[in-house]
Every structure is written in C-alpha cells, then in structure tokens.
Amino acid sequence: MKLSFAVSAGLIGSAAAWSSMSMKSDIPSSAATSRREIFQKGAAAVFGLATAANAQSARAYDLPDLPYAFEALEPYIDAPTMKIHHDKHHATYVANLNKATEGKEAKPILDLMEDAIAAGPAVRNNGGGHYNHAFFWEELAPADQAAKTKPSEQLLSLINKSFGSLDEMKAQFEARAAPGALFGSGWVWICVNQAGDALKLVGTPNQDNPLMKGAADEIMFPILGLDVWEHAYYLKYQNRRPEYVSNFWNLVNWDKVSQNCAYVIEKHAGVPF
C-alpha cells in the first residue's frame, strides 16, 4: 500500500493508524486460493522461491514520494541535487533498512528510532537516514509557498522563550550548522524538549537524530531539521555550506513546522511516518 505524503499530513493526528498503514499488509486471503496459487506455494515451499507475498513482507519500509517536483525548490536547492538525494540516497537508506530488518518484526519507525543506537550501525544509519529524509522533505515548500507560511502563536512563543526571537534562533541555527561547529556529515535540529516547555538546538553526526536514545542528553522531538551532508548541497554550493544553510530559510514551510510543534507537544512523541 502506498500513501502519498499529502495524505500522511492529514493523518498526523493518528500516529497509530499511520504507523500501521505504512506497514505492508500482505497476508493473502485464503478463501481466494486458486489452483495456480496452490502450485506457486508448493513450488515456493519446495524450491524456496519467494512468492510475491513473501517478497513484499520483507519490505516493511517504503520510500515516500516527494511532496513537490524535483525542480520545485529552485533556485535554492537545485533539481539534480533533489533527484539524486531522494531517488538514490534516501532510496538506498530505505533498501538497506529493509535488508537490516528482514525477517524481524516490522516496528513503527518511531519505535525503531528510540532503540536505533542499541540496535547497531545498520539500523542506526539506515533507519536514521530514512526518518531524517522523510522528515526533511515534508518541512520544505517551494519558495513562493513557503513565503506565505509563518510560525503559529504556540511556536513563536516557544521560540521567543527559548531563543529570544525568531531571528536569534535562525542565527544560532546557522552557527550550529557551520562546518566548524558540525564537522563532517550530520544534521541540525530544532527540537521540543522532554518537558515540552522549551525548544533546543541540537546537532547530530551522520544520520543520528534526537529521537534516538543516547544521541543527546535526553530524547527530544524534532520539529525542524537540516541535512548538512555534502550530498545535500555539493552540486550547487560545493564548499559553501553557510550559503546553503542561509538559503534554507527561503524554503521552510512554517505551517508544517508549527504543526510538528503542536503534534509533538500533544503526543509527547516524534512526528510519525
């Protein structure tokens, strides 16, 4: 089953429903078993062939579609970068996550995140890579649409309380994302803390994120994140990461970030996919 991202946004109030819907449900109806199916099952049992159903059950996690066209974020993020980033990098994390979890219970992505570090590098890196990218695509919008969005009163009051002002939050975020502060590959996040009463600026290496136990001082709930891996910007910006980071603000969908903020405070959980 494949649900579009537009649908997933609508389901945001129903984490459990979304988590279970994003899992493959592929148990065939036994009442409909035909001669051909009996033959196929027999053959599969004898020769160890994967039937379509078996092949599907190994694929618990799906690559979501982008909620816009590859070129929609131009000129700030170029179409070739978006295509490679989504179709190659994100797709590879999903494929490797499915490989790493093959034959095991398909956990909802948020459960997977919480224990990702303890689960070892394959789940940590590929699970994180899947969650982080799915999160990232959703918070962005074409610049003309993004310009019409703004932080909610709830979000703005948390920003004011935690950083002083939106401009100050942006300045601190940009400083945290600079190569000198976040060396190598990683992500920068704005999160709601455990208590649900403040925002925190967090940098994580590789594909870690603050939902993972042990990634930060406490588990926190991301509401905004930025990929600062070279694969996210190198084709257009080469070594000019700070320019990529400051241009990022032109693409932030503050309505979605506000929705994330309301959701994580109400549910005391991360945004689900």
Ligand X SMILES: *[C@@H]1O[C@H](CO)[C@@H](O)[C@H](O)[C@H]1NC(C)=O
The letter for the amino acid at 29 is: S
Residue 22: Cβ-neighbour burial (10 angstroms; 0-12, 13-18, 19+) = buried
- Interacting residue ranges for ligand X, rule: CB under 6 A: 153, 156-157, 160, 165
Q: Select 164 or 184, whichever has its Cβ closest to ligand X.
A: 164
Q: Select 169 or 245, whichever has its Cβ closest to ligand X.
A: 169
Shortest separation between residue 258's beta carbon and ligand X, angstroms: 12
Q: Select 160 or 206, whichever has its Cβ closest to ligand X.
A: 160
Shortest separation between residue 162's beta carbon and ligand X, angstroms: 11
Between CA 104 and CA 106 the distance in angstroms is 6
Shortest separation between residue 265's beta carbon and ligand X, angstroms: 15
Helices (H), the chain: 5-10, 15-21, 35-47, 52-57, 79-84, 91-100, 109-114, 121-139, 143-146, 153-163, 166-177, 234-237, 241-248, 254-267
Q: Select 162 or 204, whichever has its Cβ closest to ligand X.
A: 162
Shortest separation between residue 153's beta carbon and ligand X, angstroms: 5
